[in-house]
Amino acid sequence: MKEQIGIFHFDEDKPNFEALSNDNGFVYWNARELMYRLGYTSWDSFNKSIKRAISTCTNIDADIMSNFVQYRNKTGEVDYKLSRFACYLVVMNANPSHKEVARAQAYFATIAESFRRYIENQEDVERISDQEELKAQGRILRNAASKAGVEGNNGFALFHDAGYLGMYNMKLSELKAMRSLPDKRIPMDFMGAEELAANRFRLTQTATKLKNKNIQGQKNAEKAANEVGKTVRDTMISISGNKPENLPVYDDINKVKTSIRSTGRSFAKLDKKKKPPT
C-alpha cells in the first residue's frame, strides 16, 4: 500500500502520515494528532474543519460512522478516529495558510488524481459545505420574509428576483440564461466559494434587515432585498473589481459530489485488510 500511495511528510522533522496510522481492524488516524501535525494549536479551530468535513460526508451520502468515530481519549478529551477518506476531507476543509495543510492538500489531491481523471481541489470540496450553509441561510430568509408579509410562490419569486437584481443587475432567469445553465438547475450549483460566500452574506443581511427594521409588506420586503443586494454588489466591485455576474462558472456540484464519493471508495480499498489465505 505504501509503495502505491507514496510517503508524505508534514514537515521534514515530523513523522510521516502513514507512520501515524493505527490499525485495530479499522485503519485510522487520531484527529488530535493530525491537528498538531497540520500546524494547529487550538482544537476549537481545528474542530471547525472536522465539522465541515462531516457536513461534506453527509451531503455526498457517505457513511459518517465508518469514517468519523468520535470517542474520548485517555485524558477525557473528545477525539475522532478518522479514516483515510475522513483525513482527506478534513485536510481539504482546513486552513491552507498553515504550510503543513497546504502540503497535505497537494498530497491528497495528487492521490485523488491517480484514481481518475477528474480531481477535486480544496475549493471544490469546500463548495459542498458552502452550498449547504447558503441553503440553510435561504431557509432562514424565507421565514423572515414570510413574517414580513411575503406570500405565495409568485410573491417569493418577486422577492428573490429583487435580491438578484440588486446584486447581479439582472433577474434569476436572466443570470441563468447569461451563464447557459440548465433550466431546472439553480445557479448556486455552479458557483465558486467566493460567490457562495457573497450570496450567503446577502441572504444573512437581508433577513437581519427585515427583522431589525420590522419591515412589512411585499413591496417593502422587495426593496430591502434589492438594497442589500446592491450593497453587496458595490462592496465586491470596490474590493476586487469583479462584478458578481462576471464571476466564473464552476463545475456542476453534483459532478464534484460523485467524484468525491469515488475518492472515498478508492481510499477505502487502500486500507482494506487482505483476507488471510484459507
The per-residue pLDDT for range 34-68, each reduced to its tens digit, is 999 999 999 999 999 999 999 999 999 999 999 99
**Cell numbers at 71, concatenated:** 470517542
Summarised one tens digit per residue, pLDDT across range 64-103 is: 999 999 999 999 999 999 999 999 999 999 999 988 898 8
Half-sphere exposure of 182 (CA within 13 A, CB side): 8
DSSP 39: T
Residue 114's pLDDT is 62
How many angstroms separate the CA atoms of 68 and 28, rounded? 9
CB burial readout 70-103, b (16+ within 10 A) else e? eeeeeeeeebbbbbbbbbbbbbbbbeeeeebbbb
pTM (two decimals): 0.74
One-character DSSP codes across 202-232: HHHHHHHHHHHTT--SHHHHHHHHHHHHHHH
**% of the chain at pLDDT higher than 90:** 67
**pLDDT tens string 247-277:** 999 999 998 888 888 888 888 887 775 444 4
173 backbone dihedrals φ, ψ, rounded to 5°: -65, -35
pLDDT value of position 2? 38
Read off the pLDDT of residues 199-234 as tens digits, 9 standing for 90 and up: 999 999 999 999 999 999 999 999 999 999 999 999
pLDDT digits (tens, 9 = 90+) for 133-151: 999 999 999 999 999 999 9
